[in-house]
Amino acid sequence: MQDIRALRENFDAVKTALSKRGKDFNLEKFHELDKHRRELLQKTEDMKARQNAVSKQIPTLKKEGKDTAPIMAEMKALADAIKTATPELTAIEAELDDFLMSIPNTPHASVPEGKSDADNVEVRRWGNPTTFDFEPKPHWDLGEALGILDPAAAAKITGARFMMFRGLGARLERALINFMLDRHSSHGYEEVFPPFIAHKRCLIGTGQLPKFEEDMFHLTDTDYYLISTAEVPVTNIHREEILDGANLPIKYCAYSASFRKEAGSAGRDTRGLIRLHQFDKVEIVKFTHPEHSFDELESLTADAEDILQKLGLPYRVSTLCAGDLGFSSSKTYDLEVWMPSYEKYVEISSCSNFEAFQARRAGIRFKDAGGKPAFVHTLNGSGLAVGRTAAAIMENFQQVDGSIKVPEVLVPYMGVTEIKV
C-alpha cells in the first residue's frame, strides 16, 4: 500500500514516479478523500472534546443548584451529532483505504521507462541457446511419447490445462522440488511447508487482492482462496509482528502447489507445462532492513540463477520496465530460460523487491536497538517454477532417439541418467 504520509508530503514526486507505469491512477482523488476525512475527523474530535468539557461541568452545576437543562440539551445534541458523524467518518476512511489499496507500488528510480515487455532491459545471459543436429520436439510431444506427461488423464479428472505426471515424469518433478529446496537451504533459507489455502486478509497483505481477484480460485461461502504462490503464506508468517532488527534478513524457502485461473491467456502456452491452472513452485522470500533491500535483491536473484546454472540451462536476466512491473513491485528481475520449441527465452522466475509496500498492508515491522518500529522491506522470487523447469530440461536435454538426458545434479535424486521408453 502506498505510504499516506508520502502522498501528503511528496505528492508530486509520487505522481511523477507512478506516471512511469504508463497509466492514469487519478491521484488527485487522494486529495479529495484525505481532505474530507481530515475535516470529518477534526469535526468529530472537536465535538468529543466539547462533550468531555461540558460533562465535567454538570456535577458542579448540580451541586450549586443551577439549571442543567440547557447543558443537557447541548449534550444530547452533541451526542446525536457525533452519532451521525461517526459512520460518515468510517465510510470515508474505508473509501480512502480502498483507494490506497488500488494504487500500485512506486517504481524504484533504477527501473527503466517503458510501456510493455518489449521495453524490458536485458542485463546478462548465461550459456548459449541450445542447438541440435536433428529436429527438436516440444516438451508436450516428448512427454507423451515417453509416457511421462498425461494431459488426457488430468483432463478426465479435472479439466483442460491440468497435468498428470507419470513414472519418471513424476520423479523428475519431485527431484526438482527436492533439489531446489536443498540448494536454497544451503544458502541460509529456512525451509517451511505452508498451507495451500490462505485467508483473504493475507492476499490483501501481499497485493493479490483486491486487484487480481478474477485470477484467484475462491472457496465458496468462505474468506479462503487457493494460493497463487507460496509468497502469500510465507510473507504472512510475520503478519502484524515487530521483528528484531538484529535478526534481519530473515530468509525462507518453500514448496507449494500454486493455483491460477489464468484468465485471458490463450494460444501456444495452453499446451504442455508453461501455463497451467495448477503448478508446482519453489519460492524464496526475504524480510530485510530497508537500507539493504536492493543488495538483498541482487543476492536473491543470484540464488534463483544458481538453480539454472547447476542444471545447465541457458537463460537471460532482464530488468522489467515500469510499464511491465507487477502491481506490488518496486523493482523486478525476470529470469527467462531458453526453450527450443519456442525458439526464445521464456519466463521461469520473477525476483522482486516490494520495499515497504507489502509490509505496510500486512503490518510487518522491525525495531533496531533504541529505535522506533518501522516497516521491513519484503522480497521474493521463484526459485524456480518447477513445471517450467521440467519443460526446459526436457527440451534442452532431449536426444535424437527421443530420450532425455538427466542433468548431472539431478541424477542422485532421480536414480537414472536418462528418461527413455
Residue 378's DSSP bridge partners are 287
Catalytic residue from among 260, 360, 361, 365:
260
Side-chain-side CA neighbours of 207 within 13 Å: the count stands at 23
Residue 351, SS3 per DSSP? strand
**Catalytic position from the list 296, 336, 388, 395:** 388
- The answer to whether 311 and 127 have CB atoms below 8 angstroms apart is no
Instruction: Count Cβ atoms below 10 Å from residue 144 Cβ, excluding itself.
Output: 14
Separation of alpha carbons 44 and 296, rounded Å: 45
Half-sphere exposure at residue 129, Cβ-oriented, CA atoms within 13 angstroms:
11
Q: Which three cell numbers stand for residue 88?
A: 460518515
Q: Are 5 and 17 in contact (CB under 8 A)?
A: no
H-helix segments, 110-250: 139-146, 151-157, 168-186, 200-206, 231-235
Residue from 256, 350, 352, 382 carrying the catalytic annotation: 350
Instruction: Please count the residues of the chain.
Output: 421
Check if the beta carbon of residue 394 is closer than 8 Å to that of residue 296: no
Task: Measure the CA–CA gap between 167 and 171, rounded to whole angstroms.
Answer: 6
21 within 8 A of 111, measured Cβ to Cβ: no
Say if CB 22 and CB 115 are below 8 A apart.
yes
AA identity, residue 38: R
How would you classify the pairing of strands 344-353 and 377-385? Answer: antiparallel
What number of other Cβ atoms are within 10 A of residue 271's Cβ? 15
**Four-residue CA torsion sign, 145, 150, 156, 158:** negative
Known active-site residue 275: yes
**Residue 161, by phi and psi: left (phi above 0), alpha (psi -120 to 50) or beta?**
left
Q: Among all residues, which ones are annotated catalytic?
A: 260, 275, 347, 350, 388
